[in-house]
Amino acid sequence: METDTPVIDCDGHILEPPDLWEKYLEPKYRDRAMRIRMGDDGYEYLEIDNKRAKLTRPGALGMMGGMGKGVETARTLREQMARGDVRPEDVRALRPGPELTYVKGAAFGTMDMKERVQLLDREGMAKALLYPTIGLLWEAELFDPELSAAYCRAYNRWIADFCRDSGGRLIPIAHLSLGDPAEAARELERAVKDGCKGAFVCPFTITRVPHGDLRHDAVFAAAQDLDVPFALHPTFEPTEWGIHHRYDRFQWAAWYYDLFAGQGVQHAFGTFFQLGVFERFPRLRVIVLESQAGWIGYFLDRADAIFTGTTLGATVRLKEKPSYYFKRQCYISADPDERTIAAMMGIVGEDKFFWATDYPHPDHPGNYLEELQEMVAPMGDSARRAILGDNVAKVYAL
């Protein structure tokens, strides 16, 4: 992308090596390492703590690096359904054959550091903050806080090593599990010393304790003291805790589920206001990732209205309106296909927005640079520079 502003991807992804946890877990846990196995049906599957994962469908691992692929197949299938030739349940036809494995489906730059730097050069980007892929799948199926913490430590050591020789172009972000807050705080300190520039958690907690609860204060205190951002990133969620299960026999509706995929993060984010995190930690920087950004205007308007104008506001542990704290210490990532962001920046603030590729995940289009150019076209120069890279560089001290 041609611009005089450093362009920074605030949320790109890598594909972890299949043997990462076997190599990077402490010896105590290696017999319970996460692995990719081959099933009797010929498809790979994810094994978590010696059990076959239930939420990762057959063929899904081979599609994790397939951004932009399968679009023509999907269009054909839509036309067939419109004619009545295919039942909605037959969208399973999108599942690739077993020959498309996790490694074979890996896109350029997803498993090799030098390739990823080459990709940045090719696309005119200065830096990319990196998040996991398998790391977004396993936590919804593992309810052992000790092993969850060990899985996180193994990934964090690996991602720091992966990025270490990139000349600062690739930025490692630590994965934390809130199952054991004290251990998460210790791991954040260790990971930051090892080169990580921030951390993220998933939009649920295996303890079912709300994210903003005082029982997680050790983690917030560590992030504040270390002066690194704390992010919320969508992941798979336990089915019985999810927000998309009010209808029977609707599991095939993948478009519908992805349309609302960001709502789990919104719920988690809301607990930070309800439970007063921003009062207790006035220097904590909180980032909302991969949940779109256009909704933040409604969110803040509604949050302020019921805080100040209804009795419901009495339950909120804040002195000022929620929008005050958002503008003081929160940030949100936009998808490049969002058309409302230029207007939203004028309302919420130019300094509040990032952008992200989600590369190489298949639930986002591959023409993100074209879409990014369209998104920033109506913006003034200061807003354009801010969202392209200046904001994320400042917040993450890059």
Quick: pLDDT tens for 246-296.
888 887 788 888 888 889 999 999 999 999 999 999 999 999 999 999 999
| pLDDT value, residue 3 | 74
Q: Taking a C-beta distance cutoff of 8 angstroms, is the pair 131, 140 a contact?
A: no
Structure tokens at 202: 């998933």
pTM: 0.94
Q: Which two tokens stand for residue 361?
A: 């995940």
Q: How confident is the model at residue 197 (pLDDT cuts 50, 70, 90)?
A: very high
Which fold would CATH assign to domain 8-31+109-395? TIM Barrel (3.20.20)
Q: For the chain, which residues make up each domain, given as ranges? A: 8-31+109-395
Please state, rounded to an integer, the average pLDDT across all residues of the chain: 93
Distance of CA 317 to the CA centre of its chain: 27
User: Average pLDDT, stretch 43-59?
Assistant: 94
Q: How far is CA 128 from CA 184, 251, 382, in A?
A: 24, 34, 21
Strand 127-131, strand 170-172: pairing: parallel
pLDDT classification of 97: cutoffs 50, 70, 90: confident
Q: Which is it for strands 127-131 and 51-52: parallel, antiparallel or unpaired?
A: unpaired
b/e for 212-229, b at 16 or more Cβ within 10 A? Answer: bbeebbbbbbbbbebebb
Maximum alpha-carbon separation in the chain? 60
DSSP, collapsed to helix, strand or coil, labels residue 228 as coil
Is residue 150 within 8 Å of 26, Cβ to Cβ?
yes
**84 in the Ramachandran plot: left (φ > 0), alpha (ψ -120 to 50) or beta?**
left
Q: Residue 183's pLDDT is what?
A: 98
Q: Which residues contact 70 (CB under 8 A, 6 or more apart)?
A: 63, 94, 96, 362
Integer Cα distance of 278 and 325 in angstroms: 7
- Average pLDDT of the segment spanning 225-230: 98
